Structure 1
């Protein structure tokens, strides 16, 4: 029996480079840290969406508390209303360390869908708001 034929697939698999892990802490295109906002956010209305593995909060009020429910129906409604405002309120996403990256990505995708983050600089933010750092 030719052992080289048996071991070759295992050696090739061991040499294959694993995919790079997704770093949810790095803001995607269109999302900016608070310090890069084009104006002082203290003077403007803004919304903060907080994501944990247990719930999603809008300005501190829990609006979604079923982590296994992927639809995010209430969040989608709130973002739809915000998108109709002229200009839309700046909206930020914050999340706890250890939150499932897929959950963070799903929420960011909804924010982008409604607020067109890439086209509207400063509308979509990420990170802890400056007034919560003190």
Structure 2
């Protein structure tokens, strides 16, 4: 993880993805600038953004990963869900920051925002 002062899809962002062979924890989140969680060789499980309403550019981005058993043939979780019931409860982000996938203000202004937490699974729960 590092500091990158650019928008998703910019030249420097794409350099990390192509030459660095890194994956973005959530490439659908286009509202980020400077903070990215990129990874390689791990299995993504969850992603959340926690904001503080009193300071405009202060937020925490969190990610949950598992370590694959076989690094050569591992498969990442490719399906995204916003329903915490779709994954094991031990992998849930804490509820102290509000409802999942909401912009509810709790805990002295800290709250989940930007449509998070998101969870990632190997299979889509919609299709079975």
TM-score range, shorter chain: under 0.3
Question: Higher strand proportion, which one?
Answer: 2
Bigger-Rg structure (1/2): 1
Question: Higher helix proportion, which one?
Answer: 1
Greater relative CO (CA pairs within 8 A, separation 6+) = 1
TM-score by length of structure 1 reads 0.26
